[in-house]
């Protein structure tokens, strides 16, 4: 009886996992029991804070150990987010997250949201230079209309599926994590509960 209940709980949790888009960027085992989807914007200061204070522990504790499959989806809050997303897509897949981490850490170079940036284009060129991109590569990447279309399509999916209006937004096994529970202790507890077999992580 207990084995049957455990199987049903496992099956229910699996059904909550959202299909991953072919062009999604992710980390970890796609077959992991817990799926974390983060909707974020490069120009979002709260997203940068999450990347600095939560992601290192999330990666070390759950992603690198095969327990969590993490998917990052850009949800633009300004046009510049599409430009940075284009630059990220130009990077080798193995350096995608490394670049976005750099973009978050160096928002002071290019992000007018909270910083006095006299020349945004020059800031993007400087960001690209730090990442090893030439000026010509940066200009080509930020002019990629297909990337803007992709970002907008994914954002529209997030709005329709989860009612997302702001970032960062975390979806864990199909359920949105309340803003007050995005800190590491709370997120860790939620994931551990899911790993223990409870569907909603509460």
Indicate whether 11 belongs to any domain: no
* Averaged pLDDT, 140-168: 94
Give the count of domains, the chain: 1
d(CA 120, CA 82) in angstroms, rounded, equals: 13
Strand, helix or coil for residue 196: coil
**Residue 50 belongs to a domain with what CATH number?**
3.40.30.10
Indicate whether 30 belongs to any domain: yes
Nearest Cα to Cα of residue 154 among 53, 26, 33, 45: 26
Indicate whether 9 belongs to any domain: no
Indicate whether 129 belongs to any domain: yes
Q: Which residues contact 93 (CB under 8 A, 6 or more apart)?
A: 25
Question: What share of the chain in percent tops pLDDT 70?
Answer: 90
What domain range includes position 163?
21-195
What's the pLDDT score for residue 8? 39
Tell me the HSE value of 104 on the side-chain side, using a 13 A CA sphere. Answer: 21
Indicate whether 116 belongs to any domain: yes
Indicate whether 175 belongs to any domain: yes
Instruction: Please give the mean pLDDT across all residues of the chain.
Output: 91
pLDDT tens across 174-199, in order?
999 999 999 999 999 999 999 998 65
Indicate whether 7 belongs to any domain: no
Indicate whether 42 belongs to any domain: yes
pLDDT tens across 76-93, in order?
999 999 999 999 999 999
If you search the block for the tokens 């150990």, which residue do you land on? 65
pLDDT band at 7 (very low <50, low <70, confident <90, very high): very low
Question: What share of the chain in percent tops pLDDT 90?
Answer: 84
């Amino acid at each position: 009886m207990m084995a049957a209940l455990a199987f049903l709980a496992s099956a229910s949790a699996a059904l909550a996992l959202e299909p991953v888009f072919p062009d999604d960027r992710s980390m970890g085992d796609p077959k992991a029991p817990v799926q974390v989807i983060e909707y974020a914007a490069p120009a979002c200061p709260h997203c940068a804070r999450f990347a600095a204070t939560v992601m290192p522990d999330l990666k070390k504790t759950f992603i690198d150990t095969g327990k969590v499959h993490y998917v990052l989806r850009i949800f633009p809050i300004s046009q510049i987010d599409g430009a940075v997303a284009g630059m990220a897509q130009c990077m080798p897949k193995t350096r995608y997250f490394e670049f976005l981490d750099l973009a978050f850490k160096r928002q002071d170079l290019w992000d007018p949201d909270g910083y006095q940036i006299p020349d945004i284009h020059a800031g993007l060129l400087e960001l690209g230079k730090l990442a090893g991109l030439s000026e010509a590569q940066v200009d080509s990447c930020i002019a990629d209309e297909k990337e803007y279309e992709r970002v907008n399509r994914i954002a529209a999916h997030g709005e329709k599926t989860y009612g997302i209006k702001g970032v960062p937004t975390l979806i864990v096994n199909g359920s949105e994590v309340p803003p007050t529970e995005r800190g590491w202790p709370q997120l860790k507890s939620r994931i551990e509960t899911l790993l223990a077999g409870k569907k909603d992580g509460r």
